[in-house]
Structure 1
Amino acid sequence: MCAFHEWDGRRSVWAGLGLAIAVAIGFALYSYLGTLLFAIFLYYATRPLYRLLDRRVAHPNVTASITILLVVLPMLAVVGYAALAALRELDQFLAASDLEAYRSALEPYLSMARERDVGRLREALASDTGRSVTSALQQGIPAAFGPLSSIAGSVFGILARIFLMITFLFYLLRDDSKLRRWFSRSVDHDEDLVSFLEAVDDDLETIFVGNLAIVGVAAVIAAGTYLALNLFAPGGQVVATPVLLAFLIGIGTLIPAVGMKIVYVPYGLYLLVLSLAGPAPLWQPIAFFLLSFTVVDTVPDFFARSLLSARSGIHMGLVLLGYFLGTLAFGWYGLFLGPIVVVLAVHFAHRRFPPLASTLLAE
């Protein structure tokens, strides 16, 4: 009896230590939960490609790096380039319209930096009469470097999250088989638990691979549609950057409820403004909206998504609810957490709830 109590006390100590470690890790990851969930999504979405390459490349580090280079970095490059292109287009639009006042707020500082006009800088510092250059520096430098430091902090935060996401993804791809074997040994190869988690794992791969495939299908359909529109449109092209817009539309399919509309609706409104304020004919934004809604939005959403999700044992309506409700409940990272919760709930309801319920009723 004493031995049992001694052993039970030691087990409690080890369990407490494990709980403390888990709390510390959870506290460290809490601020980066969205980054971790995005890495998990990309892990499941790119795992088939990694395993395909792994059968041909002997080194797992090289295989994981190639997988990330082929899938993740192009997506980040497209989003980054699109952001720069959007800023450039916004600057040109404000310069060519009646909204110059919004652009002029930043123009003196931008032109001063572009021209590197030391005389204008010295004139700006000494413009207030009765103030010394030192006083102007004391007030001007913090005002100038405040926004710059804020921007630099934001950029550093984004780069840090991208680095963490790629790091998580790299080690998940490379060491997932080791994690599986470790967990299976730790639970003494419990058949019920292992089979439950394997079923969850398979369905998550099917759902997230389907999402990534829909990104590609939507991008290809959008690119073909807009290139054809430019080819057959009289009087010049309608979509200035059809391939870039198509890639953004593909990435936009990951957003629940709104989907790719978050990309093509603002662009269509931009074409409408150009048509109303300039020489462009009104049929161009109308044709763009019609093709975007009937071809680009309908085909991937109804046909491709249904075909790709048919391989999963989870009802498509539940998956869509997981995306929508997960985003409403948890924020942007609910886009990835919602489907995980749905898959866990469905398999628990099918596999574990009936025997638990029968046991409770029998008692």
Structure 2
Amino acid sequence: MCAFHEWDGRRTVWIGLGVVIAAAIGLALFTYVGTLLFAIFLYYATRSLYGLLDRHVDHPNVTAVVTILLVVLPMVVVVGYTGIVALRELDQVLASSGLESYRSALDPYLTMAREGNVDRFRAALTSDTGRSITSVLRQGLPSVIERLSSVAGFVFAVLARFFLMVTLLFYLLRDDWKLRRWFTRSVDHDEEIVSFLEAVDDDLETVFVGNLAVVGVATVIAAGTYVGLNLLASGGPVVGTPVLLAFLIGIGTLIPAVGMKIVYVPYGLYLLVLAVATSTPLWQAIAFFALSFTVVDTVPDFFARSFLSSRSGVHMGLVLLGYFLGTLAFGWYGLFLGPIVVVFAVHFAHEVFPALASAFLSE
């Protein structure tokens, strides 16, 4: 639009319209900034997988859907199954330690976790014990509606964010080349700008893919360690669900500073409580802590992370600092925003700042 060079008034109008549009989009995205950043993280972490599948599947929509299913679906299954297993383990602890009062208070949830169905709930509704569904509705209809409304609102909010994340991830995977081509044309193929953003793009992929690889390495090592511990234990398995715990430990490596300790330390304390309250041997908790700290926590952190960081142009110490400070400054979504800011800052310092400083000092 060459008119921009001829009439400043028209240029001002177009710039003002662009600012209004950008502000509206920015406000909408800021409301769901955590969802947006999580989608960006998954995009960079799965872009290589999408490219690999795209070479064999000649349909972008199918390739994007398969990529999302291979990554997102296991995460949802692990989180849901973790909740069920956690309730079952809590039920066993309360039953064996004499804390029946707490167990009775949590009985509706523990029952569903033990049985894995709603048969008992259905029986309670149809039983003739004076608390039939009609009497319940008569006595507490307002409170029931209020609880259902709050639960429905929470479920809707979670599903809306999940749908937004999946939608963003789908179109980023399928149409990223269109976005890249549009931006390149918009800056008139400026070599300095394009090279800067390409370097940032490459390092973001390396950092996020590296983190996903560390998750995989930690998961495999933890699963092998805990399965081996169960095989060596003569008095029964030490870790009731070694594969599930390994998945959670792998995900825990993404958390800055604390890392996988947020998973295996509480589980080790749970084993200590079992040893004190029941006849479970104390050596099981000690062996679990020792193996978790020396094998599971050390190998992925010092070896796998160091190897993967050598492929990136950004120092791993700065990336870890970005994770830590990002989480402290912005909350949970700083876990994804922190590394992005660090990568931009490093490339700005290397490629842009020296030229700006030189031009400023020469004036």
TM-score, normalising length from structure 2?
0.91
Q: In 2, Cα distance between the equivalents of 1:200 and 1:250?
A: 26
Q: Is 1:302 matched up with 2:302?
A: yes
User: Greater CA deviation, 113-122 or 308-317?
Assistant: 113-122
Which residue of 2 is the match for residue 115 of structure 1?
Answer: 124
Which residue of 2 is the match for residue 320 of structure 1?
Answer: 320
When residues 4 and 323 of structure 1 are mapped into structure 2, their CA distance, relative to the original with a 3 A threshold, is closer
Q: Is 1:164 matched up with 2:173?
A: no
AA partner of residue 310 (structure 1): S
AA partner of residue 119 (structure 1): T
SS of 1:119 mapped into structure 2: coil
Which residue of 2 is the match for residue 147 of structure 1?
Answer: 147
AA partner of residue 79 (structure 1): V
Q: In 1, Cα distance between the equivalents of 2:134 and 2:105?
A: 16
SS of 1:206 mapped into structure 2: helix
Q: In 2, Cα distance between the equivalents of 1:60 and 1:4?
A: 38
Which residue of 2 is the match for residue 247 of structure 1?
Answer: 247
Which residue of 1 is the match for residue 275 of structure 2?
Answer: 275
SS of 1:184 mapped into structure 2: helix
When residues 314 and 5 of structure 1 are mapped into structure 2, their CA distance, relative to the original with a 3 A threshold, is closer
Q: In 2, Cα distance between the equivalents of 1:12 and 1:118?
A: 75
Q: Give the drift of 1:7.
A: 1.7
Q: In 1, Cα distance between the equivalents of 2:21 and 2:84?
A: 42
When residues 12 and 89 of structure 1 are mapped into structure 2, their CA distance, relative to the original with a 3 A threshold, is same
When residues 118 and 20 of structure 1 are mapped into structure 2, their CA distance, relative to the original with a 3 A threshold, is farther
Which residue of 1 is the match for residue 117 of structure 2?
Answer: none
Which residue of 1 is the match for residue 30 of structure 2?
Answer: 30
Which residue of 2 is the match for residue 217 of structure 1?
Answer: 217
Which residue of 2 is the match for residue 177 of structure 1?
Answer: 177
Q: Give the drift of 1:118.
A: 4.3
Q: In 2, Cα distance between the equivalents of 1:348 and 1:224?
A: 42
When residues 334 and 48 of structure 1 are mapped into structure 2, their CA distance, relative to the original with a 3 A threshold, is same
Q: In 2, Cα distance between the equivalents of 1:196 and 1:82?
A: 42
Q: In 2, Cα distance between the equivalents of 1:103 and 1:141?
A: 27
Which residue of 2 is the match for residue 264 of structure 1?
Answer: 264
User: Greater CA deviation, 99-108 or 217-226?
Assistant: 99-108
Unaligned segments of structure 1, at least 5 residues: 127-135
Q: Give the drift of 1:171.
A: 0.4
User: Greater CA deviation, 158-167 or 239-248?
Assistant: 158-167
TM-score, normalising length from structure 1?
0.91
Q: Residues 324-343 of structure 1 correspond to what in structure 2 (within 5 A)?
A: 324-343=324-343
Contact 2:37/2:333, CA 8 A, preserved across alignment? yes
When residues 348 and 86 of structure 1 are mapped into structure 2, their CA distance, relative to the original with a 3 A threshold, is same
Q: Give the drift of 1:106.
A: 4.8
Deviations 1:244-289 (A, max 9, x none): 1111111111111111111111111111111111111000000000
Q: Give the drift of 1:113.
A: 6.0
Deviations 1:140-194 (A, max 9, x none): 1222332333223222211221111111111000000110000000010011100
SS of 2:188 mapped into structure 1: coil
Aligned-residue identity in percent: 75
Computed over aligned residues only, the root mean square deviation of the Cα atoms, in angstroms, reads 2.1
Q: In 2, Cα distance between the equivalents of 1:5 and 1:318?
A: 43
When residues 91 and 143 of structure 1 are mapped into structure 2, their CA distance, relative to the original with a 3 A threshold, is farther
Unaligned segments of structure 2, at least 5 residues: 112-119
Which residue of 2 is the match for residue 132 of structure 1?
Answer: none
When residues 361 and 248 of structure 1 are mapped into structure 2, their CA distance, relative to the original with a 3 A threshold, is same
AA partner of residue 192 (structure 1): E
Q: In 1, Cα distance between the equivalents of 2:152 and 2:128?
A: 24
Q: In 2, Cα distance between the equivalents of 1:114 and 1:362?
A: 84
Q: In 1, Cα distance between the equivalents of 2:161 and 2:93?
A: 32
Q: In 1, Cα distance between the equivalents of 2:215 and 2:121?
A: 42
Contact 2:39/2:168, CA 8 A, preserved across alignment? yes
When residues 241 and 114 of structure 1 are mapped into structure 2, their CA distance, relative to the original with a 3 A threshold, is farther
Which residue of 1 is the match for residue 51 of structure 2?
Answer: 51
When residues 233 and 17 of structure 1 are mapped into structure 2, their CA distance, relative to the original with a 3 A threshold, is same
